[in-house]
Homo-oligomer: A and B are copies of this chain.
């Protein structure tokens, strides 16, 4: 465990002399962070070679015979025509093999830099980077219930992310700050990620101009040259499934690809609505869509970093409601991982998904199903790894810390089994012998501190103790942990000149146009 973790001590600022400094030292808050996961275990390969070839063949058939639509985007049609595609109106039909060939220039792994280089992440290969929930218009906490999200909530979630040991990435729209104008909220969101966290973050995709703001603000934070030469953002470009690429998302993709910034190119699938009800059919459509989207990114700029995305949920055929943590979605997540690896692309899928309205047992079953299968699917970038509630409508404070705690389980699982001499523990077995007890033996003494993953949340106390102390359920324990983490939070140091320049940029851009709430 020691290899993949580092700890730092964030001292509360000592305001007085030696006595105050000593008091400060005693109350110092230990903020731990874990390096991104590097898997030492195999992937779960649920599709055999024949199934993979069928799906790959069918995806090419979809691109060649049916094609995809690039909507309100004549320049994209020109690029595709030039590359050899057949254009009819907004329909782009891509000859068999062309999209896959174009995808070949995309890197199989890339570094996303953070402003604190210790937080840099490697996306691709055997690695798994964990990022929080993205997009909910509502928040929920145990005390205040469900309500529209504000910029204060947004900042709280960024702070929780900074304080969460097992989270490698600050994410993007951790909730929608609905009290800020739609045309300006990206500025406040980026400002929060850049100043309240030193983990990597995502850029805005809701308008090409907002993507451009994201690049500009990143240049202030990192320096212009650095941003030109490094990937400092990974942003989420959804495909309008089935088979449609809209102008807004493609506009943002174009901005990012030209700036050599990374994009997740991600079909957004509610199975049975935006894709067939069958797993193989959905995988076929996902692959066709990603092939077309990634190929397009490489037409914009060969070598631009991209991620093979797959956001997949099923539908409840009785009510039409989306469902999460279901086996069909897990099978798609596992299968799409194989398709991504065969394409040589980093893979984004899974997360702590649930359809539940509360962070209750339903939420936990569904999230654990998705988290476990995400690990075994070989996911490289897991958005929504913590905090997701109610089908993505709600960012939940309590669920955030519950999921974030479980992410530690994934870290340890991914390490696999240590078969060094110490791991084999033959001396311990010899020392203890039949009928003995391992608690006191030398091997246990030497290894117990790092032997087992330890929760920061869950309750292992005996029933009687637990009951005497209030008999709290996980929601109540999580509520306490949220309060503690926000109370302990301290912003990571940032050059005052950079902080001022970021604040100025936001103020200037906000003043330049009237508020819009559409």
Contact = CB atoms under 8 A, between A and B. Distances in A.
Contacts of A412: 326-328
Chain A interface residue bracket vs B: 35 or more
Contacts of A335: 417
Contacts of A453: 326-328
A224 interface: no
Nearest to A243: B434
A9 interface: no
Highest count of chain B CB atoms <10 Å: which of A54, A357, A462: A357
A507 interface: no
Contacts of A363: 361, 364
A319 B364 contact: no
Nearest to A448: B317
A281 B429 contact: yes
A471 B145 CA distance: 12
A271 interface: yes
Interface string A230-253: 000000000010111000000000
Highest count of chain B CB atoms <10 Å: which of A322, A360, A438: A438
B240 A418 contact: no
Q: Tell me how many chains of this kind the complex includes.
A: 2
A341 to B, nearest CB: 15
A280 interface: yes
A350 to B, nearest CB: 13
A471 to B, nearest CB: 7
A499 interface: no
B433 A356 contact: no
Given A277-B444, A434-B68, A435-B240, A323 B460 contact: yes
Interface string A44-62: 1111001100110010011
Contacts of A365: 364-365, 367-368, 402, 406, 458
A393 B467 CA distance: 15
A46 B50 contact: no
A316 interface: yes
A429 B277 contact: no
A55 to B, nearest CB: 7
A175 to B, nearest CB: 16
Nearest to A138: B463
Interface in A324-357: 325-328, 330-331, 335, 355-357
A428 interface: yes
A466 interface: yes
A484 interface: no
A425 interface: yes
Given A146-B463, A278-B424, A423-B279, A437 B273 contact: yes
A282 B436 CA distance: 14
A439 interface: yes
A285 interface: yes
A443 interface: yes
Given A418-B279, A426-B61, A435 B69 contact: yes
A65 interface: yes
Contacts of A437: 273-274
A505 to B, nearest CB: 37
Given A272-B451, A451-B328, A419 B55 contact: yes
Interface in A295-340: 314-323, 325-328, 330-331, 335
Highest count of chain B CB atoms <10 Å: which of A55, A328, A418, A458: A458
Contact of A368 (B320, B368, B426, B461): B368
Contacts of A373: 372
A517 interface: no
Given A276-B444, A474-B360, A281 B424 contact: yes
B419 A51 contact: yes
A434 B362 contact: no
Interface in A438-476: 438-439, 443-444, 447-449, 451-455, 457-463, 466-467, 471, 473-475
B423 A281 contact: yes
B422 A317 contact: no
A416 interface: yes
A501 interface: no
Nearest to A477: B362
A275 interface: yes
Given A273-B437, A368-B368, 5 more contacts: A55-B424, A242-B435, A244-B434, A328-B412, A358-B471
23 contacts: A42-B46, A62-B429, A66-B430, A69-B434, A244-B434, A274-B438, A277-B425, A277-B448, A278-B443, A280-B424, A281-B428, A281-B443, A316-B460, A327-B411, A327-B453, A330-B413, A359-B361, A360-B360, A363-B364, A365-B402, A368-B369, A372-B373, A376-B376
